[in-house]
Amino acid sequence: MTDPALAPLFPAAAVVVVARPEMWEAPLHPEEAVSVARAVEHRRREFAAGRACAREALTALEIPPQPLLVGPDRAPVWPPGVVGSLTHCEGFCAAVVAPAETAAGLGLDAEPAQPLPEEVLETVLTDSEQQFVDTQPLPATAPTGADWARLVFSAKESVYKCQSSCVGLSLDFHDVELEIDPQAEVFQAVLRVDVPAAWPQVRRLTGRYRWLPQHVVTGVVLPSGSPAPGRSERTS
Ligand SMILES: CC(C)(COP(=O)(O)OP(=O)(O)OC[C@H]1O[C@@H](n2cnc3c(N)ncnc32)[C@H](O)[C@@H]1OP(=O)(O)O)[C@@H](O)C(=O)NCCC(=O)NCCS
């Protein structure tokens, strides 16, 4: 059920569904349809594909069918007890969900295997990331047209998504510094901003990525926090 190529980006309890062609035409629940009633065709298709992926993934978690509404921050309003994330880009759409005991948040992002436009490099990349992009050869597994800068962009979008609904940080690209391990296909994301005292784990996040034939996909997990001292554990 879970997508075998993308499952390793997330904990074992997560379910990842990648859209099949018919899912871009999937019917929407009337309460979902309101969100794209006035949208252009392209937007309606990607929204439908995302909802169809999410529905299938939620079914695998045995969550009863229900509309997946859009929250005030534009993130999906996941059913109680579930965390998740959606992504879509040209020719690709996927959703990941997991029981809320698994993580405080998940971030999933896909980008086309095309170079990041020259004019946005400075906005997206820190100096050390630019140096990495300039010097690190792409692996043989990367699809034609891929570049490291596009992967960095995707990773930062995943970082943003995994914390947005629970921690709620507003992040610029330079607030996040990535260290990529190309051998392990893993990255560390260090946040260069003040973080709420309740969320120390958001300071340094681990993410994973996969090169697909025409896309790069990144996933980031925001770990659940430790219980507050005195609430459910003894400190002595
Ligand atoms: C929300 C955002 C991350 C989406 O990323 P994207 O690459 O443009 O688009 P994707 O297709 O991958 O993701 C879109 C989906 O993300 C989800 N999403 C939207 N807002 C979200 C939020 N605040 N938090 C989590 N998920 C969100 C939605 O499911 C959306 O699909 P839907 O509208 O069909 O339901 C991006 O548009 C954004 O607002 N970024 C702001 C901050 C930023 O980029 N900072 C720099 C990086 S640190």
Order of strands, sheet of 105-112, starting from the edge strand that comes earlier in the sequence: 105-112, 215-222, 204-211, 186-191, 176-181
Neighbours of 19 (CB within 10 A): 22
Q: E strands, the chain, where?
A: 15-18, 82-89, 92-99, 105-112, 176-181, 186-191, 204-211, 215-222
Which of 42-51, 112-121, 227-236 shows the lowest per-residue confidence on average (mean pLDDT)?
227-236
Please, are residues 84 and 57 in contact by the beta-carbon 8 Å criterion? Answer: yes
Q: Is 32 in the pocket of ligand 1 (CB under 6 A)?
A: no
Distance 74 CA to ligand 1 centre (A): 8
Which tens digits make up the pLDDT trace of 166-195?
999 999 999 999 999 999 999 999 999 999
- Residue nearest ligand 1's atom 38 by CA: 157
Which amino acid is residue 8, in one-letter code? P
Ligand 1 test: best mutation among 89, 161, 164, most atoms within 8 Å of CB? 161
Q: 144 to each of 4, 108, 129, 199, 211, how far by Cα in Å?
A: 22, 22, 21, 39, 10
Mean predicted confidence (pLDDT) in 128-134: 98
Q: Is 24 in the pocket of ligand 1 (CB under 6 A)?
A: no
Neighbours of 120 (CB within 10 A): 12
Distance 97 CA to ligand 1 centre (A): 16
Instruction: Please give the pLDDT value at position 227.
Output: 55
Which amino acid is residue 112, in one-letter code? P
Please, are residues 109 and 178 in contact by the beta-carbon 8 Å criterion? Answer: no
Distance 137 CA to ligand 1 centre (A): 29
d(CA 147, CA 8): 21
Which tens digits make up the pLDDT trace of 2-23?
999 999 999 999 999 999 999 9
Q: Is 173 in the pocket of ligand 1 (CB under 6 A)?
A: yes
Q: Which atom of ligand 1 lies at the shortest distance from residue 76's CA?
A: 29
The residue assigned the tokens 């003040």 is: 194
d(CA 207, CA 109): 11
Q: Is 158 in the pocket of ligand 1 (CB under 6 A)?
A: no
Alpha helices in the chain (DSSP H): 30-33, 41-60, 121-124, 127-135, 148-164
Instruction: Please give the pLDDT value at position 226.
Output: 63
Domain extents in the chain: 7-107, 112-212
Q: Which atom of ligand 1 lies at the shortest distance from residue 161's CA?
A: 25
Q: Record the pTM.
A: 0.95
Distance 86 CA to ligand 1 centre (A): 8
Q: Pick from 147, 113, 148, 142: which is nearest to 128 by CA?
A: 148
Q: What token pair was written down for 103?
A: 């993580």
Q: Is 164 in the pocket of ligand 1 (CB under 6 A)?
A: yes
Contacts of 18 (CB under 8 A, 6+ apart): 3, 6, 53, 92, 93, 94
Instruction: Please give the pLDDT value at position 232.
Output: 39
pLDDT of 119 > 80? The answer is yes
Q: Pick from 81, 93, 112, 82: which is nearest to 6 by CA?
A: 93
Structurally, at CATH architecture level, domain 7-107 sits in Alpha-Beta Complex (3.90)
The conformation of residue 10, written as its DSSP 8-state character, comes to: S
Q: Pick from 70, 86, 104: which is nearest to 158 by CA?
A: 86
Which tens digits make up the pLDDT trace of 27-85?
999 999 999 999 999 999 999 999 999 999 999 999 999 999 999 999 999 999 999 99
pLDDT of 165 > 60? The answer is yes
- Residue nearest ligand 1's atom 27 by CA: 75
Instruction: Please give the pLDDT value at position 174.
Output: 98
